[in-house]
Amino acid sequence: MSKPLLAIVGRPNVGKSTLFNKIVGKRISISHNTPGVTRDRIYADASWCGYHFTVIDTGGIEYKSEDAMWKHIRMQAETAIEIADCIIFVVDGKGGLLPDDYQIAEMLRQSHKPVVLAVNKLDNPFDTAYEFYELGLGDPFVLSAEHNIGLGDILEEATHHLRKVEEEEEDPSIRIAVVGKPNAGKSSLVNRILGTKRTIVSEVAGTTRDAIDSPFFHNGQKYTLIDTAGIRRKRSVEEDVEYYSVLRAFGAIKRADVVFIVVDAEEGLTEQDVRIAGKVHEEGKASIVVMNKWDKIEKDTHTVEK
């Protein structure tokens, strides 16, 4: 039996990824003070007081932006709301209520799902959150995800809405990491294999930030595809977010059984492709080189050999 789903939603930079990491007990999502770091849905299993469930981290929901990336992020969050059994709605206790909070609250009411309202960034357990009753989602819970204040109360309330399931045995899936340079087509490949828009695809390099696990079955065998951020040369990595994204990609290689190394056929094999393949070889992983965008190049019977 599949585990119940607990989704975490809210506008950008309210502390969703920090809360996600605290609940699952690992630093899975990249937590950073830059808005829009989390983009795709990120799943991880968690347990609390005999309850076993899967937590979904989501990107910040922003309504005023017409930017295509923010629209994609919002769609991913809306999908999480649609499939979740319970939702933790995170708001910023220091920044107060903003128009997006009211719009998200209305969307959650229309979902008819149980909602736990978490007022984050209140470091004193005696802080009050009366203002947030305006959202009409019941009693707000005071939270400091960073300092573990109020986490137990929120999980106790959330698990009241989740069914109890037996803890599963160790995951029997074959893990496949999909790695390569930015814009090689990794997310497009993952979505094609899964047959759904699991991860955001864009021509903008660096769209994927986290390592995103997606389980699926083929011929009775369970697999887990791990989409990763594009790996650039070390000296080209300038931002903190990209640095942590690359670390997640290397971590995906370590925990994979097989690695798909995606190469942009239009650009041809580059030194960075060879470096990535070398990293996979160093980890002792079986690998398959995927020449993507093959339809876009002129070729003859000897092109593959080249």
Question: pLDDT digits over 42-99, tens only?
Answer: 888 899 999 999 999 998 898 877 777 778 888 888 989 999 999 999 999 998 999 9
Please check the confidence at residue 197 and state whether its pLDDT lies above 70. no
Domains 5-159 and 174-296 share a fold: yes
Please check the confidence at residue 10 and state whether its pLDDT lies above 50. yes
Give the CATH number of domain 174-296: 3.40.50.300
**φ, ψ dihedrals at 53, nearest 5°:** -150, 170
**Domain range list for the chain:** 5-159, 174-296
- Which amino acid makes up residue 265? A
Nearest to 3 by CA among 47, 59, 58, 40: 47
Which has the higher per-residue pLDDT, 195 or 55?
Answer: 55
How do strand 258-264 and strand 174-180 relate by DSSP bridges?
parallel
Please check the confidence at residue 200 and state whether its pLDDT lies above 60. no
Residue 249 confidence class, pLDDT cut points 50, 70, 90:
confident
**Helical spans, DSSP H, in 141-226:** 151-159, 186-194
Which pLDDT tens digit goes with each residue over 98-130? 999 999 999 999 999 999 999 999 887 666 778
Q: What is the pLDDT, as a whole number, of residue 92? A: 94
Residues 243/234, Cβ–Cβ less than 8 Å = no
Lowest mean pLDDT among 45-49, 127-131, 138-142, 248-252: 127-131
Please check the confidence at residue 168 and state whether its pLDDT lies above 70. no
What whole-number distance in Å separates Cα of residue 276 and Cα of residue 232? 9
DSSP H or E run through 58: none
Residues 114/161, Cβ–Cβ less than 8 Å = yes
DSSP H or E run through 33: none
Q: Which fold has domain 5-159?
A: Rossmann fold (3.40.50)
DSSP structural state of residue 100: H
Q: What is the pLDDT, as a whole number, of residue 202? A: 45
Lowest mean pLDDT among 124-128, 185-189, 210-214, 277-281: 124-128
Q: What is the pLDDT, as a whole number, of residue 130? A: 87
Lowest mean pLDDT among 70-84, 170-184, 199-213: 199-213
- pTM greater than the 0.95 cutoff: no
Residues 186/276, Cβ–Cβ less than 8 Å = no
